[in-house]
Amino acid sequence: LAKTTQPISMDSYEGQEVNITCSHNNIATNDYITWYQQFPSQGPRFIIQGYKTKVTNEVASLFIPADRKSSTLSLPRVSLSDTAVYYCLVGLIYGGSQGNLIFGKGTKLSVKP
């Protein structure tokens, strides 16, 4: 299973765009990249998932370069409520039924007023 590396923490201010980059150098051909958000004492919440290029939803954008060895989660105009830990994971099998998710340490994002 591919390991991921993320910054341990990041600080931002309200209204700014935040970009969190994750490295996954040994990602497999069939692996998807998934990002989760976790607040204290809650289960992780699915944010976005992608395989290549760019994916956008109502919450965030995910940028994946051609070599797929990294990915960047972009949160537009963050607010105080975006303060949380963000996890980047790889390991789901494209179109298959195997694979599980191994959590790294995540990035603790602190948004200040």
Partner 1 sequence: GAVVSQHPSWVICKSGTSVKIECRSLDFQATTMFWYRQFPKQSLMLMATSNEGSKATYEQGVEKDKFLINHASLTLSTLTVTSAHPEDSSFYICSARKTGAKQETQYFGPGTRLLVL
Cα(7)–Cα(56) distance, rounded to whole angstroms? 22
97 binds partner 1 (CB under 8 A): yes
Q: Segment contacting partner 1 (CB under 8 A): 19-27, 36-44, 64-72, 73-81?
A: 36-44
Backbone angles phi, psi at 82, to 5 degrees: -85, 0
- Partners of 23 in the β-ladder: 5, 70
Q: Measured between alpha carbons, how far is residue 108 from residues 48, 75, 102 in Å? A: 17, 14, 17
Binding mask 50-69 for partner 1 (x = CB under 8 A): -x------------------
Q: Which of 70, 87, 88, 90 binds partner 1 (CB under 8 A)?
A: 87
Binding site for partner 1 (CB under 8 A): 32, 34, 36, 41-46, 49, 51, 87, 92-97, 99-106
